[in-house]
A and B are shown apart, each in its own frame.
Chain A
Amino acid sequence: MFRQVAYRLLTRSTTTTYSAGAAATVRRPYSTEVSTDASSGDSAFVEAWKKVAPNIDPPKTPIQFMEPRPPTPSTLPSKLTVNFVLPYAAELSKAEVDMVIVPATTGQMGILPGHVPTIAELKPGLLSVHEGNDVKKYFISSGFAFVHSNSYADIMAVEAVPLDRIDPAQVQKGLSEFTQKLNSASTDLDKAEAQIGVDVHSALNSALTG
């Protein structure tokens, strides 16, 4: 944890004594630009380690256990690689699909291979994963979608369920309950909570009917 403290402090001191230009040169690379030869680790650290403890292998850093992602291909790939994760499960892990449609706050967003890199906030709605003629549909509560330039898409949600696990009766009940609450709410906070309830239940309703 403290391995980089000296380095960070040093860069901090140079930025304060010299100029902000020094800080601008220390840019962190994009996820797709991370060098693929991380297997050997930080060469400066390994060298320093060998001087101190030549008989002991240097410890591995977390990056060495991570499988690097492929660089952006020059030709358009035919498949989109999707990771769809929840706090308690990985629904899709490196699944190669044709298209996903995510419910972004700006509207339904279709992601095909070669999509421009984007980060999209998701609203409660329908997420569909298209693989050939197969369409898997999930209802997600909220979350984020990250689209990388190498045709990788990471979708994370707080709660996501396949559509057939939703109880239509509960949805109708919730919808009428929260519509009533919205009318009787007095404070801003109560109003917002009721509004969220109405939004979520009407999204559930339209996902079930449409």
Chain B
Amino acid sequence: MASTAAVPFWRSAGMTYITYSNICANLVRNCLKEPYKSEAVSREKVHFSITKWADGKPQKPSIRREKLVYVM
């Protein structure tokens, strides 16, 4: 791509550098051969628990394990 432009194409589309670099990293991970691919993908997994609050009280927390999805 034209690197001489003041702003890269992904930046003018509203992406941040973090988003851009994470997309790039994800694409590279998906192109790996098998033992390495699953290893690299599992490295990117995140675990988190979500608790919703209602009437000033926390509801039952739900634990989620999923692949990190990059959003802006």
Contacts and interface: CB of A to CB of B under 8 A. Distances in A.
Contacts of B62: none
A201 B27 contact: yes
Given A165-B33, A201-B31, A204-B28, A191 B20 contact: no
Interface string A164-179: 0111001100100000
Contacts of B13: 188-189, 191-192
B25 A192 contact: no
A204 B31 contact: yes
Contact of A159 (B3, B9, B15, B29): B29
Contacts of A199: 1
Given A189-B14, A195-B9, A170 B31 contact: yes
Interface stretch (A14-22, A37-45, A46-54, A135-143): A135-143
A171 B13 CA distance: 25
A124 interface: yes
Contacts of B28: 124, 139, 141, 159, 161, 200, 204
Interface of B is mostly: helix
A196 interface: yes
A141 B24 contact: yes
B14 A161 contact: no
Interface string B15-40: 10000111111011111111011001
Interface of A: 88, 105-107, 123-124, 139, 141-143, 158-159, 161, 165-167, 170-171, 174, 188-189, 191-193, 195-197, 199-201, 204
Given A141-B27, A191-B13, A204-B28, 20 more contacts: A88-B43, A106-B3, A107-B3, A124-B24, A141-B25, A142-B20, A142-B24, A159-B29, A165-B32, A167-B31, A167-B33, A167-B34, A189-B13, A192-B13, A192-B15, A195-B10, A196-B27, A197-B23, A197-B27, A201-B27
